[in-house]
Structure 1
């Protein structure tokens, strides 16, 4: 049985040395997490990564950065509200210096990073990286050099696991607190496990790569998170709030973007969101607003507010079962408005996610990422495993890679070599990936 005092343990570490940092008087550990993320390079890169629609000239369509900020804002509200309940139920937490704002800060920081490991071109980028190793000859030739669990990582790229890796990367300067890192990890398992339990939401995807199982094991031990099986753990309860914040935002805000772009009719949006808002919906007041953007803004705000209330109520209801590991579902699947969110999901799939601009972006993403992986992975393979075929072209290509490929002896191991290559490519912005692809394929020249 988990307990909140241990789950909210302050301190931060690299999970190897276990050296906690000293607290500051004017910022809590968890507020420092938020600030470190905001100023980090991986977070800034999200401003040029696709959320759903190709990055447009118009400002109203969301990028990964604006989406992450909105998810974090919703997460803070969820965390603070849930925190007030927890402090009332467990008064000993207050004696340990824990406040509802601390709990809000943990959820806000974890939510801020929830997409930090996503590659260029949205979720199609994840599929493109996986498919390269599954199907492309230049990806397949690495298979004999990897262990089974390492190969499982390569053929099923997962942005959540990439995010966990990035948050622990020393060069990023993040070194987040224990609680924030655990709240971030919605899927506490590696890619390859003995048996996946389809009834457990936390096992739907995976949350860390094969070489980081030991680090998550240390994190779980520090926070008192029990294992649910071999190399699988229960979720940190605050991870349910991080997930709910993301579910709420992409459901409502993708719908808003789709309406703004003319893919969904305003009348459809009003009908759906009015069902969530319930008695608070005032059609007369809505009709008094002049512009579509004003109407969408008020509908969005009221719908998100209602979904936050319902999600917190659901958290309160199942909180003890979260501590025991018995509860393992998405909060937004359990709330009163779940049936409306399901309607929104079906509409979004048909009219937004399968729209022409989105499909064109996905098709381009497959070509760009496959092309980059082909060029770089082939050059690396020739250099280290087939030197007779290492060409001048390969040599020139490898000079475009980051410095660690030339200086880090550990990276010469095949799995870590590929891990660093995927770090490089998945960390690119959409525009940089497209630009580099054109150059290495000879489609355009530098300065042209």
Structure 2
């Protein structure tokens, strides 16, 4: 792969090539990507979607929105730092093509901002709940009418693939979805493959999948423009866009450190754990007298968090540059932080978060609620949509359909399209809206 192609400013529907040197420096295309994501309705709904603690009533626990904003900030720092080093190493990118360090930062920031845009309500349990509906629930009855890959899309409903659908799916008055640059779309796609085969190798790009069957053509177009490397001749499977590794690192840094911080602020993890484990990461930068001078727990944890994030940003940049050639050739097969000198400490922090936060009674109880809500919504909506298509809709089905948006593909002749459209609609609901719709269906009032 080469950077000239990877930094493409092309957007869906373009007929003329976009040249970096011809861009308005006050508002370059990659920065427009960020703005379009920020102003999208899909992004706004993240303010009421679970990050780790579902339906939290506290004012300091992160939602998908605050998490995404923080990941984008870290991503911008990673991108700019890498951009400076890449332009020093490959001066023609600046001297001939006109690229600047901030271009790399803008691409990574935009892709990082959107990285969770496809996640359903109730956190990762929302993805599992959708899949469970098709594996063991009513949705299992559709298996014989779908291709293996279509059925797998539904059984392993994936927020990353759903995010690519949101960013690229055309609808009336909005061709090409949000119409982001192809560079940003490439950087966004952590797993540039389809749902089958599952994990064909241990390569990081095969860990999950990132493209539904409905978006195969759109992704092929993006991959060809960017010059991504095909990893197999059988089906859709490409090497990652190099900047994807920075988007992933930004997410890894934030959820590792900040979920840990949330656990401490909630009283699920003792403050002493933060000093013990984070100090191993920041031992070269911490100034003990500054830490002990802070009077509140929140300020002390914030101090440790800021130093830890800064340390991991610098290391991720160094790892990226040390492995740039392998990344460009598609041979780098793990996350950047898997090569970190602090890998053991990171794993320790994550283990504590899993034990004390992710598997806490509060989280588990609310995830159970999420399963029930999503199962009810999918059962009701898929029945109404398919009964309507088959001209067997009851009066109740008709009422349900009147409450669904016109964008829902209720009359498409393809069953997969109808089912995926329902899953997509449910995935866009906020936690609160999903519960409100559940209550209406159950007759529990408003």
Q: Would you say same fold, with TM above 0.5?
A: yes
For residues 289-321 of structure 1, give each alpha carbon's deviation from its aligned partner in whole angstroms, at most 9, with x where no partner exists: 100011011111000000001100100111100
Indicate which of 294, 300, 305 corresponds to 1:300. 305
Match of 2:192 in 1: 188
Structure 1 residues 405 and 45, CA gap change in structure 2 (3 angstroms): closer
CA distance in 1, matches of 2:311, 2:124: 28
CA pair 36-20 structure 1, distance change in 2 beyond 3 A: farther
Contact kept, 8 Å, 1:200 with 1:329, in 2: the verdict is yes
Per mean C-alpha deviation after superposition, the further-off stretch among 213-222 and 325-334 is 213-222
CA distance in 1, matches of 2:201, 2:225: 27
CA distance in 2 between partners of 1:219 and 1:257 (Å): 37
Please give the residue correspondences for 1:252-267 in structure 2 after superposition, counting only pairs within 5 Å.
252-267=257-272
- Counterpart in 2 of 1:226? 229
Return the alpha-carbon distance in structure 2 between the equivalents of residues 405 and 435 of structure 1: 19
CA positional deviation for 1:23: 4.3
Q: How does 1:349-428 map to 2 (within 5 A)?
A: 349-385=354-390, 387-388=391-392, 390-405=393-408, 411-428=412-429
Deviation at 1:425, TM superposition (A): 0.5
Matched, 1:156 2:156: yes
Offset of residue 148 of structure 1: 1.8
CA contact (8 A) 1:12 1:19 kept: no
**Does the alignment pair 1:335 with 2:340?**
yes
Structure 2, unmatched stretches of 5+, are none
Kindly indicate whether the alpha-carbon contact (under 8 Å) linking 1:311 and 1:332 is maintained by their aligned counterparts in 2.
yes
TM-score normalised according to structure 2 size: 0.94
Aligned to 1:11: 10
- In the superposition, the TM-score normalised over structure 1's length comes to 0.94
Query: Please, which of 341, 345, 351 is the counterpart of residue 346 of structure 1?
Result: 351
Residue 111 (structure 1) aligned with residue 93 (structure 2): no
**In structure 2, how many angstroms separate the alpha carbons of the residues matched to 1:140 and 1:174?**
33
Q: Give the Cα separation in 1 of the matches to 2:202 and 2:438.
A: 41
How far apart in 2 are the matches of 1:57 and 1:19?
50
Answer whether contact 1:55 1:63 (CA < 8 A) is retained. Answer: no
For the residues of structure 2 that align with 1:405 and 1:5, how far apart are their CA atoms?
Answer: 39
Aligned partner of 1:72 in structure 2 is 72
2:206 pairs with one of 171, 195, 203:
203
* CA distance in structure 2 between the partners assigned to 1:131 and 1:321 by the alignment: 38
Q: How many residue pairs get matched?
A: 436
User: Does the 8 Å CA contact 2:149/2:195 hold for their aligned counterparts?
Assistant: yes
Q: Does the 8 A contact of 1:13 with 1:20 survive in 2?
A: no
Q: Matched residues in 1 for 2:86 and 2:156: separation?
A: 38
Distance 1:404 1:11 in 2: 26
SS of 2:9's equivalent in the other structure is: coil
